Structure 1
């Protein structure tokens, strides 16, 4: 029965500054590095034999995984990076202060952009400071200009089916270090969370969500490894 650990990256510089980050490559803060190391210590303590790991193309998730694997004594483990595991693209909100954006557009409108399942924010303008079209990591990739959670799920799920699920079905325990919304998309899929409930599910930074799966990759048990920082758990399907 394989185990899957979902780890949201540690605190980033833009988390600290309360800015919409999305695909922008904000790095970890010192606190974020400490959270990543703590995640690795927690993962080392569980009865699991992690043999494969996946992360996004974004530095904060990659470094979270590296730091965690080092703490686990598993720096040797294979790491697969995929843009499909990137954070949700926040479009024209990228780089903006969340409180200032709410003051400008109203709390209700910002809540819709942030928490509705299928309403994306305004698109990012081409040539914007936050335009990633010249970033070499995305060469040949059709970069979105905005995304809802639904659109995020639409890119995460095919990658899960093609690359991650076969590894789990082979019996290997897996770690995924990614982002609040790409992990939320996976939780929605695995636990069949309704559209109107998934956006309220919060995964804390650096606190591994450990899921026991059956042979068909249906969750049979779930828990946060740091009980003191746990949030509400998804219900078993």
Structure 2
């Protein structure tokens, strides 16, 4: 029975500053590093042997992956990085303080941008500080200028089917260290969470979500390793 471990990156500097981060490559805070190590310690204590890990091309997820594997005494595990596991692209909201944005546009509008399933924020203007077109990590890729959770799922799911699912079907235990919205997309797919419910699913930082899968990659069990920081899980079956 294959096991999938989903690990949301630890606290980042812009998490701390309450800014819309999206694709901006900010690093972990000291607290975020501690959360990542704690996640790895929990994986080790649970006796989980990871065969392969996947992460995004963003530093906070990569470092979370590496710190967790180190703490789990499994730093030898191969790691694959791909931009399709990146956080949701926040478009024109990128870099803005969330509280100040709510004051400018209204709490209701910002809530729609943040929490609706299929309403994206305004598009990011090309050529600005947060235009990622010239970033060599994305060379040759067709990049979004904004994303909703729905379009994040459209980006993540083909990579899941192409790269991650075959490993699980082969019986491997897989760690995916990524972001709140890219992991939420995977959870929506696996648990068949309705569109209006997935936005209510929270994935805590640095707390490994262990999902046991059957041969068809249907969840047969799921639990957070840190029960004190666990969030409600979608129903199985």
TM over 0.5: yes
1:83 corresponds in structure 2 to 83
Aligned equivalents of 1:70, 1:49: Cα separation in 2: 13
Residue 42 of structure 1 aligns to a residue whose secondary structure is: helix
Higher deviation after alignment, 44-53 or 22-31: 44-53
After TM superposition, which residue ranges in structure 1, 4 or more long, deviate above 2 angstroms?
none
1:79-135 Cα distance to aligned partner (Å, 9 max, x none): 010111000000000000000000000011001100110110000001111111111
Aligned equivalents of 2:47, 2:67: Cα separation in 1: 20
1:28-74 Cα distance to aligned partner (Å, 9 max, x none): 00000000000000011113321010000100000000000101111
1:44 corresponds in structure 2 to 44
2:118 corresponds in structure 1 to 118
Spell out the pairing of 1:9-88 with structure 2 (5 A cutoff).
9-88=9-88
Aligned equivalents of 1:146, 1:82: Cα separation in 2: 18
Higher deviation after alignment, 125-134 or 7-16: 125-134
Q: CA RMSD in A?
A: 0.7
Give the TM-score, by structure 1 length: 0.99
2:175 corresponds in structure 1 to 175
CA contact under 8 A between 1:49 and 1:172: conserved in structure 2? no
Residue 223 of structure 1 aligns to a residue whose secondary structure is: strand
1:215 corresponds in structure 2 to 215
Aligned equivalents of 1:65, 1:82: Cα separation in 2: 13
Residue 147 of structure 2 aligns to a residue whose secondary structure is: coil
2:93 corresponds in structure 1 to 93
CA contact under 8 A between 1:5 and 1:208: conserved in structure 2? yes
Aligned equivalents of 2:111, 2:220: Cα separation in 1: 33
Higher deviation after alignment, 139-148 or 89-98: 139-148
Aligned equivalents of 2:122, 2:170: Cα separation in 1: 41
Gaps of 5+ in 1: none
Aligned equivalents of 2:43, 2:193: Cα separation in 1: 25
Aligned equivalents of 2:71, 2:152: Cα separation in 1: 30
Give the Å deviation of 1:140: 1.1
Residue 137 of structure 1 aligns to a residue whose secondary structure is: helix
Aligned equivalents of 2:9, 2:130: Cα separation in 1: 21
1:146 corresponds in structure 2 to 146
Residue 50 of structure 1 aligns to a residue whose secondary structure is: coil
1:158 aligns with 2:158: yes
Aligned equivalents of 2:183, 2:128: Cα separation in 1: 27
Aligned equivalents of 1:24, 1:234: Cα separation in 2: 30
Aligned equivalents of 2:229, 2:190: Cα separation in 1: 22
